[in-house]
Amino acid sequence: MMNIIKKLRQENGYSQRMLAQLCNVHQTAVSQWETGRTVPESEMLVTLSQVLGVSVDVLLGNEKKEAKILIPVLGYVRAGLPAQAVENVLCFEEISTELACRGDYFGLKISGDSMFPMFHPDDTVIVRRQPDAESGDIAVVQIGNDDAVVKKLIKKDTSIVLVSENSNYEPMIFTQEEVSRLPVTVVGKVVELRRKF
């Protein structure tokens, strides 16, 4: 198990200190797990599996690590949504086969600070492509033909409101007529955040 924890920690880009913080333990505990001096208790195995994105069986060495699927990161959300512009693929992100079975996914890079502190510039968000979202969801919304934003979507009887996390930005309010005319369309729902340190 010691080699598995170290390998998964490194694959996730965590230092021992970062993994310790995520698991709410002292860095010494992580070091001892990795050297085999101690073994995580069952509750900690569950926490580790969630933080490292694998099953407890993988941590115990009882099954192979879950296969991953690569999805394209299509560009910066502030510069428009290049969903059809395959040549604008910036890089690829991995998602699990379990997640991939639930829909069609793509990634976008965050530009600007309107969703700070939830999202930072250059964060990558994983988006499930869907034509609608629930009120309160964080969604990718296309406004007209060129501009796309990541905002909290609020649905009201006669309007759609796109809300920023950063209070320096006013909500964007669209009437039913504007939603049809511009148009304002949901492209997908943000389901995951990827941040590089």
| 19, 22, 23, 26: CA torsion to nearest 10 | 60
- Residue of 114, 152, 164, 189 marked active site: 114
Separation between Cα atoms, residue 197 and residue 195, nearest integer Å:
7
User: Is residue 55 among the annotated active site residues?
Assistant: no
User: Is residue 151 among the annotated active site residues?
Assistant: yes
**Both tokens of residue 142?**
């296309």
Separation between Cα atoms, residue 10 and residue 58, nearest integer Å:
15
From the list 108, 117, 187, 121, the residue with the least C-alpha distance to 153 is 187
CB contact at 8 A, 55 and 45:
no
- Residue of 6, 65, 68, 151 marked active site: 151
- Three-state secondary-structure class, residue 138: strand
List C-alpha distances in Å: 46 to 65, 98, 166, 172, 194.
15, 18, 34, 41, 21
- Three-state secondary-structure class, residue 80: coil
Q: Which residues are catalytic?
A: 114, 151
